[in-house]
């Protein structure tokens, strides 16, 4: 596919200066904010963040600074800034991608006003897509691709739509008012809302192109065993839904591997692992809304310093991206790299299921609040082109109820909801298990080049509400990274994640930023893990960290068990 080929030239790496303030480092009182009242947006206002002069006035009576993430000034997009690394001989070098992710720019902009929907569009499972709906989908995608030829500057075209994802996650924009600080929609609480709006306009554009306002995108229900293979609709080379830049070993009937453990060949174990992972990211790993949605992200925050995606984003979401991406090229195009992911039509079907996970999580009974009552979150905003080619601003607050966006999801079973690992009948023999092992302070900082086992002290004996904190995880942004964590694992079966001893994982998809490295903390809840392993009245535990992918690109600063933060 000629339009997807890129050339490379050497480029020196010069990271942007980082903000002195890190995300989530300080508490800000809740505030009451309002936009600019709709209508046209004045250019002066745009340079301040498209209506970004928010007032201060806390509902708690405290003065507060309004710091929502603002949409970028599209006129400042850097068309040449996309960089990554590739292997040349025995060395890694920074290279420039000859790809322009910048969308068309116009001064004619305004706030988006949601239509009133009297009937909801129904998004079907891709595995149960009716012939009539599949035919409409293929026709709409073909017309979107045709725009690349007939009018390459049409923002509704296939390449222009794909570039939206690249533009918002691969560094062409600085945050308005914060020069040198990347704008990034991943690894924070903006992840779900941004992609929900993205799919909303994408879906409406496809419907507009075929004159069918009822058109709805399908979703790839990879969380259900019946959907744990690539949907047949996307595996036809003659179809507008096909992309040649995929892992050819993962075409049908290959079973999805959300854990990215290439050593597993048994489809039964793959499915069991997938269900166990889904249960952890949707249920047992989530103790607060931020656990699921991702860390706080406010204007001026460096998105590559202690910003971490929620359990679903860094779990099944990243797993599918990496599983579909093509290992035949260094960049893992298309799905396996943020900048190119939107160039595969399956991206949108995948993200429809990611969005569906948000709607399902919102309905799972829990003892914590799932409402983020924070105006910096609700007033964060993005820019999109609608189906009429109008450039519009949207806010997170307007997409929190997906039904107000005029769609719903066809029901599909969620067997993972009952996939809690069986409890160990007898606790591990810590004395025997810890024999000869070093303590954590002797191991860290750790370059994760091989599997490591070590002893970590507990702050309290018994089944205290605790969490495992991996601190200062420094990663190479250009690499796909995955490691798993186990506790008191006597069996040493790292391929099996459907066991009580599995604690959680860290996964990173390759992405381009001007800074080569990111720094994160990973917090894994231990309440249910302690119950599962039937932990004894020990004052320490044995932790095992297993690097699966690019462990040599990871350094972990430290590890400790902490008291779990109060639920919100």
Annotation says 402 is catalytic? no
User: In this structure, what DSSP letter does residue 307 have?
Assistant: -
Instruction: From the candidates 192, 234, 292, 338, give the one annotated as an active-site residue.
Output: 338
Annotation says 127 is catalytic? no
* Residue 295 contacts residue 288 (beta carbons within 8 Å): no
User: What are the C-alpha distances in Å from 547 to residues 2, 7, 445, 498, 553?
Assistant: 36, 32, 15, 18, 10
Note the pLDDT of residue 463.
Answer: 60
Q: pTM above 0.75?
A: yes
* Residue 245 contacts residue 344 (beta carbons within 8 Å): yes
- Residue 75: Cβ within 10 Å count: 12
Annotation says 351 is catalytic? yes
User: What are the C-alpha distances in Å from 255 to residues 124, 252, 269, 415?
Assistant: 21, 8, 10, 16
Question: Does 165 belong to an annotated binding site?
Answer: yes
Identify the three-state secondary structure at position 300.
coil
Question: Does 27 belong to an annotated binding site?
Answer: no
Note the pLDDT of residue 512.
Answer: 67
Strands of 294-406 (E only): list them.
381-385, 391-395
Note the pLDDT of residue 414.
Answer: 97
Question: Does 321 belong to an annotated binding site?
Answer: yes
**What whole-number distance in Å separates Cα of residue 225 and Cα of residue 221?**
9
Instruction: From the candidates 127, 195, 402, 511, give the one annotated as an active-site residue.
Output: 195
Question: Does 195 belong to an annotated binding site?
Answer: yes
Query: What is the third-level CATH fold of 2-418?
Result: di-copper center containing domain from catechol oxidase (1.10.1280)
**Residue (of 540, 445, 442) closest to 487 by Cα position:** 540
Instruction: From the candidates 178, 304, 317, 350, give the one annotated as an active-site residue.
Output: 317
Note the pLDDT of residue 468.
Answer: 95
**What whole-number distance in Å separates Cα of residue 307 and Cα of residue 313?**
12
Name the residue ranges covered by the structural domains of the chain.
2-418, 430-563
Question: b or e along 379-388 (b: 16 or more beta carbons within 10 Å of the residue's beta carbon)?
Answer: bbbbbbbbbe
Instruction: From the candidates 304, 321, 402, 511, give the one annotated as an active-site residue.
Output: 321
**Residue (of 411, 413, 381) closest to 397 by Cα position:** 381
Note the pLDDT of residue 102.
Answer: 86
Annotation says 317 is catalytic? yes
**Residue (of 487, 474, 389, 376) closest to 433 by Cα position:** 487
Note the pLDDT of residue 32.
Answer: 29
Note the pLDDT of residue 15.
Answer: 34
Instruction: From the candidates 127, 165, 178, 350, give the one annotated as an active-site residue.
Output: 165
- End-to-end Cα spacing for the chain: 49
**What whole-number distance in Å separates Cα of residue 18 and Cα of residue 519?**
12
User: What are the C-alpha distances in Å from 79 to residues 153, 183, 278, 547?
Assistant: 15, 15, 38, 35
pLDDT tens string, the chain, 568 residues long: the values are: 333 332 222 222 333 333 333 333 333 333 223 333 333 333 223 333 333 323 222 222 322 467 999 999 888 888 765 555 554 555 555 555 657 788 888 888 899 999 999 999 999 999 999 999 999 999 999 999 999 999 999 999 999 999 999 999 887 899 999 998 889 999 999 999 999 999 999 999 999 999 999 999 999 999 999 999 999 999 999 999 999 999 999 999 999 999 998 788 899 999 999 999 999 999 999 999 999 999 999 999 998 888 889 999 999 999 999 999 998 887 788 999 888 999 999 999 999 999 999 999 999 999 889 999 999 999 999 999 999 999 999 999 999 999 999 999 999 999 999 999 999 999 999 999 999 999 999 999 999 999 999 999 998 766 668 899 999 999 998 889 999 999 999 988 999 999 999 999 999 988 766 667 889 999 999 999 999 999 878 889 999 999 999 999 999 999 999 987 554 4
Helix locations, 285-439, DSSP H: 289-293, 318-324, 346-361, 375-378, 430-433
**What whole-number distance in Å separates Cα of residue 521 and Cα of residue 347?**
28
Annotation says 350 is catalytic? no
Instruction: From the candidates 351, 402, 506, 511, give the one annotated as an active-site residue.
Output: 351
Annotation says 321 is catalytic? yes
Annotation says 186 is catalytic? yes
Instruction: From the candidates 127, 178, 186, 304, give the one annotated as an active-site residue.
Output: 186
**What whole-number distance in Å separates Cα of residue 26 and Cα of residue 493?**
41
Query: What is the third-level CATH fold of 430-563?
Result: Jelly Rolls (2.60.120)
* Residue 494 contacts residue 487 (beta carbons within 8 Å): no
406: left (phi over 0), alpha (psi -120 to 50) or beta: left
DSSP 123-170: EPBGGG--HHHHHHHHHHHHHHHHHHHH-TT-TTSHHHHHHHHHHHHS
């Amino acid at each position: 596919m000629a339009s997807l080929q890129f050339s490379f030239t050497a480029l020196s790496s010069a990271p942007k200066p980082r903000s002195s303030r890190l995300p989530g480092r300080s508490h800000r009182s809740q505030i009451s904010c309002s936009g600019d009242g709709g209508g046209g947006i004045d250019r002066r206002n745009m340079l301040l963040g498209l209506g970004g002069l928010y007032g201060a006035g806390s509902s708690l009576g405290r003065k507060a600074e309004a710091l929502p993430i603002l949409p970028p000034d599209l006129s400042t997009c850097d068309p040449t800034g996309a960089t990554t690394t590739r292997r040349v001989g025995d060395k890694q070098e920074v290279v420039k991608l000859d790809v322009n992710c910048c969308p068309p720019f116009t001064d004619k902009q305004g706030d988006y006003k949601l239509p009133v929907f009297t009937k909801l569009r129904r998004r079907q499972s891709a595995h149960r897509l009716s012939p009539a709906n599949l035919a409409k989908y293929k026709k709409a995608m073909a017309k979107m691709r045709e725009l690349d030829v007939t009018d390459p500057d049409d923002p509704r075209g296939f390449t222009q739509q794909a570039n939206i994802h690249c533009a918002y996650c691969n560094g062409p924009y600085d945050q308005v008012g914060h020069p040198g600080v990347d704008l990034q929609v991943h690894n924070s609480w903006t992840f779900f809302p941004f992609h929900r709006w993205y799919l909303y306009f994408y879906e409406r554009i496809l419907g507009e192109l075929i004159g069918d306002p009822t058109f709805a995108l399908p979703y790839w229900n990879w969380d259900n065993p019946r959907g744990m293979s690539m949907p047949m609709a996307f595996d036809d080379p003659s179809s507008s839904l096909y992309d040649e830049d995929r892992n050819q070993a993962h075409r049908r009937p290959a079973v999805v591997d959300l854990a990215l453990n290439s050593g597993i060949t048994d489809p039964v174990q793959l499915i069991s692992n997938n269900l166990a992972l889904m249960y952890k990211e949707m249920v047992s790993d989530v103790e607060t809304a931020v656990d699921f949605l991702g860390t706080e992200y406010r204007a001026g925050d460096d998105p590559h310093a202690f910003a971490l995606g929620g359990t679903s984003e860094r779990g099944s979401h990243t797993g599918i991206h990496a599983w579909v991406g093509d290992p035949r090229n260094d960049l893992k195009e298309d799905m396996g790299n943020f900048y190119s992911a939107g160039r595969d039509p399956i991206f949108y079907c995948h993200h429809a299921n990611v969005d569906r996970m948000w709607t399902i999580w919102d309905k799972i009974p829990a003892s914590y609040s799932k409402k983020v009552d924070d105006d910096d979150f609700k007033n964060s905003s993005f820019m999109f082109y609608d189906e009429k080619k109008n450039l519009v601003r949207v806010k997170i607050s307007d997409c929190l109820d997906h039904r107000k966006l005029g769609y719903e999801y066809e029901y599909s079973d969620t067997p993972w909801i009952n996939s809690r690992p069986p409890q160990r009948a007898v606790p591990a023999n810590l004395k025997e298990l810890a024999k000869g092992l070093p303590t954590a302070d002797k191991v860290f900082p750790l370059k994760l080049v091989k599997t490591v086992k070590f002893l970590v002290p507990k702050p309290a004996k018994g089944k205290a509400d605790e969490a495992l904190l991996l601190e200062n995880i420094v990663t190479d942004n250009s690499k796909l990274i995955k490691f798993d964590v186990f506790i008191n694992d006597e069996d040493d079966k790292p391929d099996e994640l459907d066991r009580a001893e599995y604690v959680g994982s860290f996964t990173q998809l390759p992405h381009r930023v001007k800074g080569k490295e990111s720094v994160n903390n990973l917090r894994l809840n231990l309440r249910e893990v302690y119950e599962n392993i039937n932990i004894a009245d020990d004052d320490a535990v044995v932790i095992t960290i297993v690097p699966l992918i690019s462990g040599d690109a990871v350094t972990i600063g430290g590890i400790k068990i902490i008291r779990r933060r109060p639920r919100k």
